[in-house]
Homo-oligomer: A and B are copies of this chain.
Amino acid sequence: MDPRDLLPMGEITRRSGFAASAIRYYEAEGLIEADRSSGGQRRFERNVLRRLAFIRAASNVGLTIGEIRDELSRLPDNRTPTKADWHRISRHWRQRLDDQIAALERLKSGLDGCIGCGCLSLRSCAFSNPGDVLDQRGPGAGLLPDTLRRPHPTRR
């Protein structure tokens, strides 16, 4: 491939909006690939910009780096996603967003139910939902899906 078609780091950061450190991180994590110049500097193929756009979109939807890697690994490396690829993926993402929205709606209606009573009772109020009323999967269990649970450290 003609080396003039390869983009240096500066170009990538400018055009993708990611910091150089993030780009290097994504490479280290295997989300993107980079060639090297004779002197060891990164030279990116143009399709990396597409992958980065995909990464940003996925991360907006709330996917973790690991999940993004999985999705990307299902796209043959040098192919831009076909309509079929994109359709499958976007259905998946849409479902996630729907789940998150539904969870927030549930939370809101719990809240609405509490406005009248001012209770916040430990035993009966589903909104504040302590450990002995519902199960023990962590704060918010039963009301929030994993994707919205504030990522608690070392959740066993």
Q: Is the CB of A97 within 8 A of B104?
A: yes
Given A104-B101, A108-B97, A112-B94, is A122 in contact with B16 using a C-beta cutoff of 8 Å?
yes
A120-B54, A140-B60 given as contacts; is B97 within 8 A of A111 (CB)?
yes
From 55 to 94 in chain A, residues with beta carbon under 8 angstroms from any chain B beta carbon are: 56-57, 59-62, 81-83, 86-87, 90, 93-94
A144 to B108, CA, bound (A): 19
Is the C-beta of A118 less than 8 angstroms from some C-beta in chain B? yes
CA distance A127 to B112 in the complex (A): 32
Asked if A115 lies at the interface with its beta carbon under 8 angstroms from chain B, I say yes
If A97-B104, A101-B104, A108-B97 touch, does A82 touch B118 (CB 8 Å cutoff)? yes
**Complex Cα gap A16–B15 (Å):** 50
What is the CB-to-nearest-CB distance from A136 to chain B, in angstroms, rounded to a whole number?
7
Q: Specify the chain B residue showing the minimal Cβ separation from A83.
A: B118
Knowing A83-B118, A105-B101, say if A111 contacts B90 (CB, 8 Å): yes
The 10 closest A-B pairs by CB, nearest first: A17-B131, A53-B128, A17-B130, A57-B128, A86-B118, A60-B140, A97-B108, A53-B120, A90-B115, A83-B118
- Judge whether A2 is part of the interface by a CB distance below 8 angstroms: no
Considering only residues 90-144 of chain A, those with a C-beta below 8 Å from chain B are 90, 93-94, 97-98, 100-101, 104-105, 107-108, 111-112, 114-115, 118, 120-122, 125, 127-132, 136, 139-140, 143-144
